Amino acid sequence: MNKRAHEYEVTFNYLKDNKGEVVDKEPIRFPFNNHDNIYKILDVLTEKKLFEDDNQTVQFAIGLKLLGDVVMKNKDKELFSELQPAFVEFMKKLKSKE
């Protein structure tokens, strides 16, 4: 039985390089599914004021969900052998503050 998931699409636009020059690159777009409603998570984290800058809250939440999904789906890979247990503990700590 497949779990029902929320469907999202991420779009990443490269606007300017580190010299301030406009970059003409195609946006990177990709879909992903997640069991969480990320908009609800953003609301909770914004309300908790983990960061002074709300843009950092968005970066943190979306980055964490993307990274976490990859780590959990590949937890048996050697690359994640040290990160996976620490990631689980980090998530417990984060959720305890919610």
Task: Name the residue type at position 93.
Answer: K
SS3 21: coil
The DSSP code for 80 is: G
Q: Which domains does the chain have, with CATH numbers?
A: 6-96 (3.10.20.850)
SS3 72: helix
* pLDDT the model gives residue 98: 54
* pLDDT the model gives residue 97: 66
Whole-model pTM above 0.85? no
SS3 8: strand
Handedness of CA 60, 61, 62, 63 (dihedral sign): positive
For residue 68, count other CB atoms closer than 10 A to its CB. 16
- What Å distances lie between residue 74 and 37, 51, 86, CA to CA? 22, 29, 14
* pLDDT the model gives residue 95: 85
- 7-64 pLDDT, tens digit each: 999 999 999 999 999 999 999 999 999 999 999 999 999 998 889 999 999 999 999 9
